[in-house]
Amino acid sequence: MTETTPQPRKRLYIRTFGCQMNVYDSDRMADVLAPLGYGPAPSPEEADMVILNTCHIRERASEKVFSDLGRLRVLKDAKAERGEQMVLAVAGCVAQAEGKEIVSRAPWVDIVLGPQTYHRLPEMVARAARAAGAQIDTDFPVEQKFDLLPEVRASQGPIAFLTIQEGCDKFCSFCVVPYTRGAEFSRPVAAILAEARRLVASGAREIALLGQNVNAWHGEAPDGATWDLTRLLYALAEIDGLPRIRYTTSHPRDMDAGLIRAHGAIPQLMPFLHLPVQSGSDRVLAAMNRGHKADLFLRICDELRAARPDIALSSDFIVGHPGETAADHAATMALVERVGFALAYSFTYSQRPGTPAAGQPLQVAQAEKDARLQELQALLRQQQDAFNEACVGQDCAVLFTGPGRHPGQVMGRTPWLQPVHAMGPLSLVGQTAPVRIAERYPNSLSAILLDQKELACA
């Protein structure tokens, strides 16, 4: 008799905020809860358990969470009137930073857990069912978390994400990550390679390595040696059936010569790198405690392009850090002009309670921050459009990931991470196929499928 998997008895809805690492964490929470009988719910209204997996990076992050919790209270009360139960949990970085505040302002929340404790979620669910009052767990047992998590259960599809490093020791003045994710921790080599092989076996054709400072990863190998990210990338490139590898997010201080050379030496390593610089002003970079100057960032960009001429660069920028002057902003604009970015993310500085910059004098007026951001974003948009326009008429290989918006259309990603749509069969999903870029749109490209023989180099 063939053994079958029991049908889920309960329904789980997870709303994920913020970074791709939170997406990875949400998937793992679903894995952890599956043995308890939880399967996916399409909406909070249809769920027996709702988890808000939160992010503290964006402005007013906690207020957005409390707004969601207010709406969820109505659903929870309605279920209770019908004699049903909804378990409500808040996870992630807002939970880590404001655990007691959450249960004080929203006492209908059952569970509050930080990003390093979701392996304990089944135990917390059981305790919440037995006892009155919220269950709070915001410790930092990062090693224990990875040791106790089950193997990845569900396929992530053609593009999969794999956390190899968590936490941060950099303590940038504007950032809450060291306080919400804890100190840097690197997963061991064997665990990473085993998870990567499982992802490939379940259909992944591209793996993106994740970490708050992913290029600071230094993992222990089975023989006791310590590997750096470069050596790990070479090992991943040896996995059969894995044609694409990426990693994010990196810090300029950890971009060493070996890692730069790897971009030209490993064909599976995609020609796209996200490398946040935050500012082009050395004075502001020092105030941010970034630990590098603009010249180092520019030198890294030049060396990356020497190693891999077709590499596309992406970055992050914060406008209006306390004390930033018009001259500092001009230095950022000059750096952007000098580098030329295919993609970038830019924001005005906002105060994060508990971070060094929050209490600094010379806070920049919001109107001035907004004006500087508009000027920066106009230049970044111009560069992104120019990069995408230069791709029109070019041939490349696209990894197709799913159906498009229109009938007969499939979607995918270029080696430079651009979204692409083309007319083609759904059988292409999970495959890399040659295309010719036909047209540029504001946030995507259209392409025409090519016969394999027509493409000189896919």
**Bind-site residues for [4Fe-4S] cluster:** 19, 55, 93, 168, 172, 175
Residue 138 token pair: 């915001």
The residues, ordered by sequence, that sit 6+ positions from 27 with a Cβ below 8 Å of its Cβ are 152, 154, 156
Kindly list the distances between the CA atom of residue 405 and the CA atoms of 43, 54, 438, in Å, as whole numbers in the listed order.
Answer: 21, 29, 18
Q: How many CB atoms lie within 10 A of CB 269?
A: 23
Distance CA 255, CA 187 (A): 19
Distance CA 332, CA 376 (A): 8
Kindly list the distances between the CA atom of residue 39 and the CA atoms of 87, 89, 377, in Å, as whole numbers in the listed order.
Answer: 14, 16, 41
Q: Note the residue count of the chain.
A: 458
Report helix, strand or coil for 205. coil
Kindly list the distances between the CA atom of residue 390 and the CA atoms of 92, 228, 338, in Å, as whole numbers in the listed order.
Answer: 40, 35, 18
Report the interhelical angle of 121-130 vs 20-33 (nearest 10°): 60
User: Half-sphere exposure of 192 toward its Cβ, with a 13 Å CA cutoff?
Assistant: 29
Contact 64, 92 (CB under 8 A): no
Annotated binding site: 19, 55, 93, 168, 172, 175
Contact 32, 73 (CB under 8 A): no
Q: What DSSP element (H or E) covers 159?
A: strand 159-163
User: Half-sphere exposure of 161 toward its Cβ, with a 13 Å CA cutoff?
Assistant: 17
Ramachandran angles phi, psi of 151, nearest 5°:
-65, 150
User: Half-sphere exposure of 407 toward its Cβ, with a 13 Å CA cutoff?
Assistant: 0
Closest CA to 152 of 210, 191, 112: 191
What region, left, alpha or beta, does residue 92 occupy, with left being phi > 0 and alpha being psi -120 to 50 degrees?
left
Residue 126 token pair: 């059981």
Beta bridge partners of 91: 53, 113
User: Half-sphere exposure of 196 toward its Cβ, with a 13 Å CA cutoff?
Assistant: 28
Distance CA 284, CA 274 (A): 21
Closest CA to 166 of 99, 123, 124, 118: 118
